[in-house]
Amino acid sequence: MKRKRSLVRVFRESSMASTKSLHLILLLLLIFVAVPTDSSKEFLQRAREPEFYDWMVGIRRRIHENPELGFEEFQTSELIRRELDAMEITYKHPVAVTGVVASVGSGKPPFVALRADMDALALQESVEWEHKSKVPGKMHACGHDAHVAMLLGAAKILKERSDELKGTVILIFQPAEEGGGGAKKMVEAGAVEKVEAIFGFHVTSKGPLGTVASRPGPIMAANGFFEAVISGKGGHGAVPQLAIDPIVAASNVVVSLQHLVSRETDPLDSQVVTVAKFEGGTAFNIIPESVSIAGTFRALSKESFFLLKKRIEEVIVSQASVQRCNAAVDFLMEKHPFYPVTVNSKELHLHFQKVASEMLGSDNLKDKQPAMGAEDFSFFSELIPGYYYFLGMQNESHRPLQPGHNPYFEIDEEVLPYGAALHAALAFEYLSEAQAHPVENKRVHDEL
């Protein structure tokens, strides 16, 4: 405001001002008005305040001590609702069994969403510390406990600034990301029915604390699972000619499946086929009746993914047949729905760069290469423009952190203010820009 007043004063004091000068000054005034506020930095300062920080840490640790698997997050959901009640934030529950969908703001368009996943993994925690998992065989080994704490932190920041929100922020606490397709269930339940853009994130041990990494376009792969039973004829190992050996057939299947990527795929078109399970036989000298194999397949484009699916079934059935066996292939879609490619909106990438650079500094924005891991945030981003980014938490003052899905996985809790503040700022600034520059809401329906 001081800069604007000084321009006006200069103009008024100038007796030689022309119409051209007036136009120039008015243009400058518009530019200064459009300059973003320091809200993003204020959000980070707020999230770093000791009382605020300790509150988030407490939430994260309570969730960590009581991990729950997909669609079983009843205690986690209850904790979230208690915190939302304390903030006087309205919500819907249950959504997709245990999910919670809350809202902050005017209750009117535009609508932008923030998402956190909340399920744990079936792993026994090996880290010895005060808040170790109390549930045998289950732990938060992927950081979803921190994701929930940070989204609640963003909710608190946004609630405190709700009078300034130029629309509505939808807060999505989602179950069952780890293979259960919880995001798909949330979409089917109408969680993003009015939403025109959505943001999600994941902590990572690969980036320094206070850095973020992402990219426009494909960032995570489509993913599917397969299982096949290859049946032959059992017999004694001393007379294999009287049997039809499914182990030999299955071995040829595994080798042939590797050729799909090495000999049928463009080297620049990223695809993966992995057979990770091979079971058959109970004795050293008995050829079994059948063998089962199972694995995963992934691709960075929808077309490549479905071509790979088609060829996997063809190879398994054909190679089994060559060895006089039969094969039945199951893609397990009811239990493990195919995850689409996670694609970041180019427009939201520009928005992310702007907001993140204002908060963290442009040097702390890193390019992220596409990864062949999958993320069910893709069910949101295939329906509406979405943006997914990674939040670094490797701290020089802390021992090296292990990657996710590891019994030694840890969270550097100093990451919590960054996630809470950045999530809040992305939504806050999105609504401000949408109000200033309204455009037609183009929802993209591109089902996998």
What residues form the annotated binding site for Mn(2+)? 142, 144, 178, 202, 405
Give the containing element (helix H, strand E) for 23.
helix 19-34
Q: Residue 112 in 3-state DSSP?
A: strand
In whole angstroms, how large is the CA radius of gyration of the chain?
Answer: 26
Angle between helices 416-436 and 346-360 (to 10 degrees): 120
The secondary structure of residue 111, as a DSSP letter, is E
What single string gives the DSSP state of each residue in 192-236? TTT-SEEEEEEEEEEEETT-EEE-SEEEE-EEEEEEEEEE-B-EE
Which residues contact residue 243 at a Cβ distance below 8 angstroms, ignoring those fewer than 6 apart?
232, 233, 234, 235, 236, 287
**Do 327 and 316 contact (CB within 8 A), yes or no?**
yes
Measure the CA–CA gap between 448 and 446, rounded to whole angstroms: 6
Length of the chain: 448
Half-sphere exposure for 430 (CA within 13 Å, toward CB): 34
> How many C-beta atoms lie closer than 10 Å to residue 203's C-beta?
25
C-alpha span between 142 and 44 (Å, rounded): 24
- Which parts are annotated binding residues? 142, 144, 178, 202, 405
Q: Judge whether 443 and 109 are in contact, CB under 8 Å.
A: no
Characterize 42-75 residue by residue with b for buried, 16 or more Cβ atoms within 10 angstroms of its Cβ, and e for exposed. Answer: ebbebbeeeebbebbbebbbebbbbbbbbbbbee
Q: Quick check: bond before 110 cis, omega within 30?
A: yes
Report how far apart, in Å, the C-alpha atoms of 198 and of each of 113, 172, 388, 443 are: 4, 10, 9, 12
The CA distance from 357 to 77, in Å, is 33
